[in-house]
Amino acid sequence: MESPSNLSALEEETEEVETDDGREGEDKLGGQSVFSPASIPPRPASQSFLKKYAPLQWSDYFDKEDDVRVPGSDNIFHVYMAGSGGPVVFCLHGGGYSGLSFALSAGKIKDKSRVLAMDFRGHGKSVTDDDLDLSIETLCNDVLAVLKTLYGDSPPAVILVGHSMGGSVAVHVAAKKVLPNLCGLVVIDVVEGTAMASLVHMQKILSSRMQYFPSVEKAIEWSVKGGPLRNVESARVSIPSTLEYDNSKKCYAYRTPLEKTEKYWKGWYEGLSEMFLSCPVPKLLLLAGTDRLDRSLTIGQMQGKFQMVVVRHTGHAIQEDVPDEFASLIINFISRNRIGPNGVEIPGLFKRTQLSAQRLLRIELA
């Protein structure tokens, strides 16, 4: 990991300040000035800065949070829930994110469907016996264990929605064909070919990002100015749950040391395209901007095996950057595939079944 030297660098970042005429200016904190001696300490963050990047509460978007204790283990998975009717949109976040990356979207979806977002092991508020075991098999077993603990052997209709690493987990879970009442699969911005090609650069990407933050507000600011997010409101909800306070360095650092999980990365994405196509449920692939589909996905799309939508003007975290559009895509997917609270609903089926039962009753009575 990097030395804490970049903490001081962060503290010396430029900060937006309001000038007398209302325009935004820049003042290099801690830098030399012709108007003041170098001995004067940096001034504290302005009230406008603290307000702009202040953390927001999960309860503004979700209805409930809970800890799911998996029987027979020491594993506790934190979940967020919203909505009271319809199928369950089960959300799986990407590596280094948390369940709160779906907060803004959940606030939009919950009027039409239930939403459940979990923190993977080693992420957010989840606590397990091995937080660094991010193998695809372990992550899949965690998802199945949470669903089993919550719903038993008769779960409601479930739509798996996964972003990045979570998308891979969603595909692997669906491909196992062991989840009762799985009715849909949505994968957010992950394609096998692109993901596998990027793995050789991942350690460099992780080491080049800001590692330490003097405050949560600074972490939120960096996430939208130099990090992966483009939506300040979403960052204010999700970023605090990805941090933890480092007492030894007296600053905030990432909760999840992704650089220590490299041995699992290849397993997340290898063979993902064929596995995605093999899942026997309606499928939606959401991509941020144009992305090259590999041969299997290109053929599969031409054959109508899945729906694909390219979402413009967004970064990697589509559900955070454009939550309104993302929520609309999920709601339309549910409607298009006629997914109800207990499974796929075929128009007129209940009515025909009811009439058949009435005729059978009349015959028996006669």
Cα torsion 236, 238, 241, 246 to 10°: value is -50
Mean pLDDT of 30-56: 65
pLDDT digits 0-9 by tens, 182-201: 999 999 999 999 999 999 99
78 as an active site residue: the answer is no
| Segments making up each domain of the chain, as ranges | 58-342
The answer to whether residue 77 scores a pLDDT higher than 50 is yes
Mean pLDDT of 206-214: 95
| 337 or 14: which leads in pLDDT | 337
The residue annotated as part of the active site, out of 93, 123, 172, 316, is: 316
The answer to whether residue 31 scores a pLDDT higher than 90 is no
| 360 or 300: which leads in pLDDT | 300
Please give the Cα distance from 337 to 327 (Å, whole number). Answer: 16
Mean pLDDT over each residue of the chain, to the nearest integer: 87
pLDDT attached to residue 11: 45
Mean pLDDT of 216-234: 96
Find how far residue 208's CA is from the centre of its chain: 22
Q: Evaluate whether 161 touches 90 at the Cβ level (below 8 Å).
A: yes
Mean pLDDT of 116-142: 98
Per cent of the chain over pLDDT 90 is 77
The residue annotated as part of the active site, out of 101, 113, 164, 238, is: 164
pLDDT attached to residue 293: 84
Measured in degrees and rounded to the nearest 5, phi and psi for residue 44 equal -70, 165
Confidence of residue 50 (pLDDT cuts 50, 70, 90): confident
Mean pLDDT of 56-75: 97
Mean pLDDT of 294-298: 90
pLDDT attached to residue 90: 98
This prediction's pTM: 0.84
164 as an active site residue: the answer is yes
189 as an active site residue: the answer is yes
Helix (H, G, I), strand (E, B) or coil at 339: strand
Q: Considering only the top CATH level, what class is 58-342?
A: alpha beta
The residue annotated as part of the active site, out of 189, 223, 234, 238, is: 189
pLDDT attached to residue 359: 57
- The token pair that represents 106 in the structure block: 């959940």
The answer to whether residue 157 scores a pLDDT higher than 80 is yes
Q: Beta strand 114-118 with 76-82: parallel, antiparallel or unpaired?
A: antiparallel
pLDDT digits 0-9 by tens, 1-26: 444 445 544 444 444 444 444 444 44
Q: Give the lowest-confidence range in 7-11, 124-128, 227-231, 276-280.
A: 7-11
Confidence of residue 353 (pLDDT cuts 50, 70, 90): very low
The answer to whether residue 270 scores a pLDDT higher than 80 is yes
pLDDT attached to residue 39: 46
Confidence of residue 348 (pLDDT cuts 50, 70, 90): low
- Nearest C-alpha neighbor of 54 from the set 203, 242, 233: 233
Length of the chain equals: 366
